[in-house]
Amino acid sequence: MKLQVIQDGYGNNTGVFVPITDWEVITQKHQDLKELVTIEPAPKKKLSELAGTLSKETAEAMLNEIAESRQEWDERLKKQF
């Protein structure tokens, strides 16, 4: 069994990930565990709720990459025509 420990941004252990195949074996042996766990899908978020989730540095790096790609694209088009 290969468990993965989940950590927060500060390195604190916050959870454990159990592969589904291992979980199925465990719950076959221990039926009572199924009653402890309710698996609910994560609630859908509105796009507006995601605003500000990128760091400023990451956003700037992405914008720079887009600008460079656009410039390369324009240069290739000029050479073709």
| pTM metric for this prediction | 0.40
Which DSSP string do the residues of the chain spell out, in sequence order? ---EEEE-TTS-EEEEE--HHHHHHHHHH-THHHHH----PPPP--GGGGTT-S-HHHHHHHHHHHHHHHHHHHHHHHHH-
Residue 66's pLDDT is: 95
Q: Higher confidence at residue 33 or residue 64?
A: 64
Residue 70's pLDDT is: 95
Q: What is the per-residue pLDDT across 2-55, written as a single tens digit (0 to 9) for each?
A: 889 999 989 999 999 999 999 899 989 998 888 887 778 888 888 888 777 788
